[in-house]
Structure 1
């Protein structure tokens, strides 16, 4: 953050304000961890804060501090619209285009509040009065930690705030194994543990609460795993019928795409998940090294993200989507060929 940004944030928060905090649609651990942490901090400073998620988030995050106070826009749109319209300040966290807020796009676009963006994805939009964007950061939660430092409130990080920030950093770094995890990240994590984050219980709450159906679905996904010979690419498919057969719930496929990337010699992995309700194929992409799945997703599948982790969608059928995906790969043979 620049000194000008820090001064403006302090000015915006210098007395009690009506504040709305928003994560992206389909919020993950980083989105919920960062927004919950900021909510707890700002309420502790006397502000009136509402955290509004565009839609529901996975069950494995529903143990987090203050999560029961999260408003779900899809369920309470009118109430949420009133809070958005009345807000003095709106924070958007872990996304950088208002379209990523789903059905909240229009009310956010029409809001009169001052916007503050905190995000680590590439190519941010310019809707915010204060934009704190850093694509080198491993997570928005780490950015919120530094944001809190920059506005002089590091001493206000409670065990609950530390827990939320730790959760987001842990999930967005693949338990600290991704390239974006730096020595600075580990120093932040150490401080969060010192401030009360229980790393063992956080890990257990996120990763050791799988349902029987979820593990059966993982088995199905692994059975569907395919390798594109000669192009160091692996992909997984899951149809709506397969999801239904294993009692799929939001979040059940979290991390499945990484199993393709764990294969020896594979540098590009994808998972294609059918969503009959929205009539799309949801796509998650992962890579190793310098192969940019962000560019790949933006160019071919209406998506984006980071260099090594991105997402997108397809309006084609599952088979047509796979055919399109495979047909594109030879274009990248310099990066992918053995």
Structure 2
């Protein structure tokens, strides 16, 4: 990796390092952060991991979880750490808008910045650049960074399981077209280095609350909409659904994939109303680029077949806008 030696030179003496990732951290964001956290601590540095807000409780098993600082709950402490850091690692995001309330402080720190990310069109200009949009997950890039820096044999069981969680989830359990032969070789290395992949998979995918299962049944029976002519399926989840089913953060995770699993569907979406915000997630199969759709219409972006966005309209208006635009864009794609 091109900037590894420069990073090694900078870290030749003990440094104060802060690691952060995007708001609403997922398994790749948190797994990458904690995997890197353990590695840098092992090198003798003072390391703090700060996340913009909370994350799903099915990720709390990760080694080092107790060390993670929630910015929303610890603003003063977090700002002090950011302002006194020598190095800020930005993981799994490429624009400071993705870290919400942390943006103002993090974007103006005097610390050097290291960017480790695989999303398109990075907006951050780092001193140490480990951006690669060909990577399947940020966890893959952290593995590469550690291997290039010290050799993969320094990866402990704890690091291996954190990184495996990131790769597994960001590849859709190795179903996405980002799953290369390199990814499989990396996973084999992580298993050899101690990762209990059965345990990690079970903790992430098979640890449901009764409320979440009941909600999933309700969503599939009552909330799923299908536009057959356009081969589109989507869900609209209201604030009341969160209240009625006592949902926690992360309980809607993966729901959009059920829509995409319908035979013949090529684009799926979920529109969520939560805490006065309207968020959208998009998935696709084949050539339809949902990242471009999200960027052009919903102030978002991401990967070709998996992306997200947001809307300043109300829920009803957002659904109407989505339906009109997706049908129009799919029609244009077919006519090319």
After TM superposition, the score normalised by the length of structure 1 is 0.96
> Contact 2:291–2:306 at 8 Å: present in 1 too?
yes
> Contact 2:288–2:330 at 8 Å: present in 1 too?
no
Question: Any idea what SS the aligned residue of 1:295 has?
Answer: helix
1:152 to 131, 150, 163: 150
Is 1:247 the equivalent of 2:246? yes
Distance, in Å, in 1 between the alignment partners of 2:133 and 2:125 is 18
Shift of 1:230: 1.1
* Residue correspondence of structure 1 range 139-288 to structure 2 within 5 A: 139-223=137-221, 224-275=223-274, 277=275, 279-288=276-285
Distance, in Å, in 2 between the alignment partners of 1:52 and 1:126 is 18
Question: Any idea what SS the aligned residue of 1:104 has?
Answer: helix
Unaligned runs of 5+ in 1: none
> Contact 2:226–2:234 at 8 Å: present in 1 too?
yes
Question: Any idea what SS the aligned residue of 2:48 has?
Answer: strand
Shift of 1:153: 3.7
- Write out per-residue CA displacement over residues 91-129 of structure 1, whole angstroms, 9 at most, x where no aligned residue: 000000011111110111120001000000000113311
> Contact 1:16–1:48 at 8 Å: present in 2 too?
yes
Distance, in Å, in 2 between the alignment partners of 1:245 and 1:199 is 34
The equivalent of 2:65 in structure 1 is 67
Distance, in Å, in 1 between the alignment partners of 2:334 and 2:72 is 41
Residues matched between the structures, number: 333
Distance, in Å, in 2 between the alignment partners of 1:153 and 1:72 is 31
> Contact 1:21–1:92 at 8 Å: present in 2 too?
yes
> Contact 2:232–2:266 at 8 Å: present in 1 too?
yes
Distance, in Å, in 2 between the alignment partners of 1:205 and 1:336 is 41
1:321 to 318, 321, 324: 318
**Kindly tell me: are residues 83 and 153 of structure 1, through their superposed partners in 2, closer, same or farther at Cα, counting changes over 3 Å?**
farther
Question: Any idea what SS the aligned residue of 2:98 has?
Answer: helix
Which stretch of the first structure deviates more once superposed, 218-227 or 34-43?
A: 218-227
Shift of 1:336: 5.7
Which stretch of the first structure deviates more once superposed, 237-246 or 149-158?
A: 149-158
Unaligned runs of 5+ in 2: none
Shift of 1:138: 0.8
Is 1:26 the equivalent of 2:54? no
> Contact 1:233–1:336 at 8 Å: present in 2 too?
no
Question: Any idea what SS the aligned residue of 1:215 has?
Answer: helix
Distance, in Å, in 1 between the alignment partners of 2:152 and 2:86 is 24
Distance, in Å, in 2 between the alignment partners of 1:125 and 1:145 is 23
Distance, in Å, in 2 between the alignment partners of 1:264 and 1:336 is 19
> Contact 1:12–1:89 at 8 Å: present in 2 too?
no
After TM superposition, the score normalised by the length of structure 2 is 0.97
Is 1:295 the equivalent of 2:292? yes
Is 1:312 the equivalent of 2:313? no
